[in-house]
Amino acid sequence: MHIVLGNSYDYPQYYDIAFQRDTSIEADFVEAAYRKYCRCQVNRLLEPACGSGRLLTEFAARGYKVTGFDLKPSALSYLRRRLSRRRLHAEIFEADMADFRLQHAVDAAYCTASTFRHLLTEQRARSHLECMAASLRAGGIYILGFRLLPPNGGKQWKRCWMERRWDTEVTATLRAMDIDLRSRMQNLRLSLRVRRGAKEFRLRHEFQVRTYTAKQFRVLLDSVPSLELSDIYDLRYNIEQPLTIHDEMAYGLFILRKPHGRR
């Protein structure tokens, strides 16, 4: 066994396995949200920071016209091969979450894997929300999900899980380490232990994310008038039970709508 000190995002085939478990559950919730909050039929979907495309591929298989983008060429190459193998189609391109433009507006969009927190400044986070609003048709929705910082969120924590696909087993460990509440920066470490037959190796990398309490996110959202908050959910994915936003929440799925009359 050996350790590769590199970005696990550069190995999308293993990252994809590690996070495959809730794909169908997430996709079902997203569809339920479209049915509940969109007044018109939803055909065109957008996924910013689509990565290996686990959700994008799922929606393409369900018959949607899907568009996705990411900054990682390796992830996009993997996604294109995946779509080709399954004879599915999607519009894929390389772009920054905080600086992109679509040729045609979409009916709805989603980003549920806390990728939003990789935008490390308030300006970039606001720019992302403004770009998303510009990409939606009037009345369209954006489902944005990410981990929030509850009052005890400054504590360190660790989450471990294992997933398997065919002859490949991936054990993932996500560890929250140092956190600076003043700068709102948190250090995370993602480790993947990969076993393929008799071979075994590890991938490990550390990265920073921006922290948000529910109140801090609401302040940010109030600065983007082109999106309004419709409802909020948690990881129970129960579309029948929207929640009241409060700072005890550890995770939020925010239903953001582009008001009619906005361009």
pLDDT category, 221, cuts 50, 70, 90?
very high
Provide the pLDDT confidence category of residue 261 given band limits of 50, 70 and 90.
low
Partners of 202 in the beta sheet? 3, 193
224 in Cβ contact with 125 (< 8 Å) = no
Q: Determine the Cα–Cα distance for residues 250 and 212; give it in Å rounded to an integer.
A: 10
User: Residues 184-205: what's their mean pLDDT?
Assistant: 92
Average pLDDT, the chain: 93
Mean pLDDT of 232-253: 93
**pTM (2 decimals)?**
0.94
Reported confidence tier of residue 3, pLDDT bands at 50, 70, 90: low
Please, what are the domains in the chain? 12-149+211-257 (3.40.50.150), 151-210 (2.20.25.110)
Instruction: Give the whole-angstrom CA distance, residue 242 versus residue 230.
Output: 10
- Specify the residue for token string 């190459």: 77
- Give bridge partners of residue 22 from the DSSP assignment: none
Whether 255 contacts 33, CB under 8 Å: yes
Q: Which residues contact 225 (CB under 8 A, 6 or more apart)?
A: none
Given a cut of 60, whether residue 220 has pLDDT beyond it is: yes
- Please list, in sequence order, all residues whose beta carbon lies within 8 angstroms of the beta carbon of residue 42, skipping any fewer than 6 positions away: 34, 64, 107, 108
First-to-final CA distance of the chain: 54
- 170: which 2 tokens? 């991936």
38-to-26, 33, 158, 180 alpha-carbon distances in Å: 18, 8, 37, 39
List, for residues 52-84, the tens digit of each pLDDT value. 999 999 999 999 999 999 999 999 999 999 999
pLDDT-derived band of residue 231, with 50, 70 and 90 as boundaries? very high
Q: Answer for the pair 112, 79: CB distance below 8 angstroms, yes or no.
A: no
pLDDT in tens, 76-135: 999 999 999 999 999 999 999 999 999 999 999 999 999 999 999 999 999 999 999 999
User: DSSP states of 77-123 as a string?
Assistant: HHHHHHHHHTT---EEEE-BTTB---SS-EEEEEE-SSGGGG--SHH
Percentage of the chain lying above the pLDDT 70 cut: 95
Separation between Cα atoms, residue 190 and residue 46, nearest integer Å: 26
Band of the pLDDT at 203, cuts 50, 70, 90? very high
